[in-house]
Copies of this chain bind each other. A is one copy, B any other.
Amino acid sequence: VTAASERLRALLALNDDLERVANILSWDQETVMPPDGADARAEQRATIERLAHEALVADELAALLEELRDDEAGLEPTSDEASIVRVARRDHEKARRVPAELRAELVREASRGMMAWFEARARSDFSILLPHLERQFELKRRYIDCFEPTGDPYDVLLDDYEEGMTTADVDPVFDVLKRELVPLIDAVRRAEPVDDSCLRGDFPAEQERWLAMHVLEKFGYDPASWRVDLSAHPFASAPSPTDIRITTRFEEVHLGGLFSCMHEFGHGLYERQVSPTLRRTPLATGCSSALHESQSRLWENLVGRGRPFWNHFYPRLQKAFPEQFADVELDVFYRAINKVQPSLIRVDADEVTYNLHIILRYELERELVSGRLALRDLADAFDAKMQEYLGVEPPNAATGVMQDMHWSDGSYGYFPTYSLGNVISVQLWERIRAEISDLDEHIERGDFAVLREWLGEHLHRHGRKFTPAETIERATGSPLDPAPYIRYLKRKVADTSGIAVA
């Protein structure tokens, strides 16, 4: 180890410490902070984030990366050492392209936009949000101009979440999803509706928590390195790879809290199983937003909405909520939690229709970025696509174009990663089932060790060592491919809706 590489590791460790401290500040704010702490917390977070950014763009880091160029050439490219230098260089060069003032303006306008969104949504008045979106879009254009022109300016935005992935990669995937799912949803709509009345009722929080903790413990939750807390919106956070925190909420009128625990467990496990050799480097976290989402969706949907899982856990669910489920057959419950039905709100959508919520947002973002759509026409365009793809008409802007926070804080390019995560989750699932032929039997016994270990070995331990495309190919054996996901959804619909699917 040379002095230069040691110093590099120290600077990267500083940056990692600061990023994780920012996570803790944010976790604290969402879960335990007294409300009057908000103003000071905003300043503290801004300070830590500024220092983290300064560490990332530091001239000293630039000089070290230059000095290490020759060393790097002599290293095995997939070694930790070479990968750390490679990824650090990419992060550093990308961060340096954006002037500090523009970055500060983006952060400021993001928080202003979010505040405006709360008010605009409460009043269901898109015109309150519109000027903020317009200002942010101007900044986004300047942001895009900081980078080399690519085939599509949207690629720059996408790259912030899926490094190296472009619209040319996403478009064919989403084309397949749209082509296959729109008629599938049509067919479901024409069929006899599935009875999901058992999912509505009275679900005391204590009971749901008891059940969720049991599931999490079976999944691999360990109180030595995990926590579960309550927050308004569920999330996962990793103050360190051995300190994993997930949040949920138990709303007492449905089982959403249970499924969100499984979802967040998937995010948490990814962070938990990154190789300890990558600690305090920029590689010690999940590879990308889509790969992260593939993990949450795998545990929530492929495990948590599957028959083997419920073969094991259904008796406990009945014990937790006897009045609700004592007289409900497992099969009725299974079909209820897998019911496909077009609906208004993305976050409540089923596995099939969910993707159309995403695709329409992706298409609108593309049109906004290309200039084919003006922001003032966004609300109408949103409603029109909801009608076209899902046959649903938003009654107002609050539950239509403003239902998500993402646009208000300038997170363009993020939505597609949700559906890409779904696609990847089933690519992984097919591969896992091919390699572990008795996976269902493990799950039916409530034993998830084999699944956890497979994911650790083939995906989690690498962290950000490889690009998203490389990571997908390494873990699944093939490039991004929607075919397994389509197969899975058709099988699920046939199984639960009782309709013949081509």
Among B37, B47, B227, point to the contact of A243 (Cβ < 8 A): B37
Among B40, B47, B242, B244, point to the contact of A39 (Cβ < 8 A): B242
Q: Is the CB of A227 within 8 A of B32?
A: yes
Q: Is the CB of A243 within 8 A of B40?
A: yes
Known contacts: A32-B32, A47-B18, A48-B21. The answer to whether A40 contacts B242 by CB under 8 A is yes
Q: Is the CB of B28 within 8 A of A24?
A: yes
Would you list which residues of chain A between 368 and 422 have a CB under 8 Å from chain B? none
Tell me if A13 is interfacial: C-beta within 8 Å of chain B. yes
Q: Is the CB of A21 within 8 A of B17?
A: no
Would you list which residues of chain A between 24 and 44 have a CB under 8 Å from chain B? 24-25, 28, 32-37, 39-41, 43-44
- Please count how many residues in chain A sit with their CB below 8 Å of the partner chain's CB atoms: 36
Tell me if A330 is interfacial: C-beta within 8 Å of chain B. no
Would you list which residues of chain A between 1 and 59 have a CB under 8 Å from chain B? 13-14, 17-18, 20-21, 24-25, 28, 32-37, 39-41, 43-44, 47-48, 51
Q: How far is the CA of A51 from the CA of B240 in the complex (A)?
A: 20
Interface centre among A226, A240, A244 (most CB of B within 10 A): A240
Tell me if A224 is interfacial: C-beta within 8 Å of chain B. yes
Q: Is the CB of B36 within 8 A of A20?
A: no
Q: How far is the CA of A271 from the CA of B40 in the complex (A)?
A: 14
Q: Nearest-CB distance from A265 to chain B (Å)?
A: 15
Known contacts: A40-B241, A41-B243, A51-B51. The answer to whether A225 contacts B21 by CB under 8 A is no
Tell me if A239 is interfacial: C-beta within 8 Å of chain B. yes
Residues of chain B contacted by A239 (CB below 8 angstroms): 28, 33, 37, 40-41, 44
Q: How far is the CA of A20 from the CA of B13 in the complex (A)?
A: 21
Q: Is the CB of A33 within 8 A of B243?
A: yes
Tell me if A149 is interfacial: C-beta within 8 Å of chain B. no
Q: Nearest-CB distance from A64 to chain B (Å)?
A: 18
Q: Is the CB of A17 within 8 A of B43?
A: yes
Residues of chain B contacted by A244 (CB below 8 angstroms): 34
Residues of chain B contacted by A34 (CB below 8 angstroms): 223-227, 242-244
Residues of chain B contacted by A35 (CB below 8 angstroms): 224-225
Q: Nearest-CB distance from A242 to chain B (Å)?
A: 4
Q: Is the CB of A36 within 8 A of B242?
A: yes
Q: Is the CB of B225 within 8 A of A17?
A: no
Q: Is the CB of B32 within 8 A of A20?
A: no
Known contacts: A21-B25, A24-B28. The answer to whether A225 contacts B43 by CB under 8 A is no
Q: Which residue in chain B gives the minimum CB-CB distance to A48?
A: B21
Q: Is the CB of B17 within 8 A of A280?
A: no
Q: Is the CB of A36 within 8 A of B227?
A: no
Q: How far is the CA of A244 from the CA of B35 in the complex (A)?
A: 11
Q: How far is the CA of A385 from the CA of B223 in the complex (A)?
A: 45
Q: Is the CB of B47 within 8 A of A17?
A: yes
Known contacts: A28-B28, A242-B39. The answer to whether A20 contacts B33 by CB under 8 A is no
Known contacts: A21-B21, A25-B24. The answer to whether A37 contacts B242 by CB under 8 A is yes
Residues of chain B contacted by A227 (CB below 8 angstroms): 32, 34
Contact with B along A273-286 (1 / 0, CB 8 A): 00000011000000
Residues of chain B contacted by A225 (CB below 8 angstroms): 34-37
Q: How far is the CA of A47 from the CA of B18 in the complex (A)?
A: 8
Q: Is the CB of A20 within 8 A of B48?
A: no
Known contacts: A21-B21, A21-B48, A225-B34. The answer to whether A43 contacts B13 by CB under 8 A is yes
Residues of chain B contacted by A47 (CB below 8 angstroms): 13-14, 17-18, 21
Q: Nearest-CB distance from A51 to chain B (Å)?
A: 7
Q: Nearest-CB distance from A320 to chain B (Å)?
A: 24
Would you list which residues of chain A between 45 and 102 have a CB under 8 Å from chain B? 47-48, 51
Q: Can you list 13 pairs linking A and B with CB atoms under 8 Å apart? A: A14-B47, A17-B43, A17-B48, A21-B44, A28-B28, A28-B239, A34-B224, A37-B243, A40-B242, A40-B280, A41-B239, A43-B280, A44-B240
- Given A34-B224, A34-B244, A37-B242, 4 other A-B contacts at CB below 8 A? A21-B21, A21-B47, A21-B48, A24-B25
